[in-house]
A = this chain, B = another copy of it.
């Protein structure tokens, strides 16, 4: 069984939640998607196998997955929240193409280090950060 389902199972046990077809289905669908997805995307995908599922349940379930460390919210700057996989995925920043909307993942260990130093310089205890670089992607030039 995939580790992510075990995490959900454990949370259900620990927190007195109930095992529902909706939760299992949303997790399955979410794990099968690769990239950054809005609630509407995820709900649309889930409806293919579970037509009666409601948008609100997807909102609630993705919030649960966030708490469980399975999903992470990311925000491209438009008003739409998107989710990406978090479990077993390393932190990364995003290069957002302002022309086609593509979103490339990248990370620079040096930048990460310098961010720590910058925070420290201001007596700030850093807990995380979000870096988006906006520009034109390779394909769009």
Note all chain B residues with C-beta closer than 8 A to A135: 119, 124-128
B residues less than 8 Å from A128 (CB atoms): 133-135
With contact pairs A114-B110, A118-B106 given, residues A133 and B126 touching in the complex (Cβ less than 8 Å): yes
The verdict on A77 contacting B75 (CB below 8 Å), with A98-B127, A114-B110, A137-B124 known, is yes
Q: CA A128 – CA B108 in complex, angstroms?
A: 17
Number of interface residues of A (CB under 8 A): 36
A51 at the interface (CB under 8 A from B): no
Interface centre among A79, A106, A129 (most CB of B within 10 A): A129
User: Which residues A112-127 have CB closer than 8 A to chain B?
Assistant: 114-115, 117-119, 121-127
Residues in B whose Cβ lies below 8 Å from that of A98: 127
| B-contact 0/1 string along A68-87, CB 8 Å cutoff | 00000001010100000000
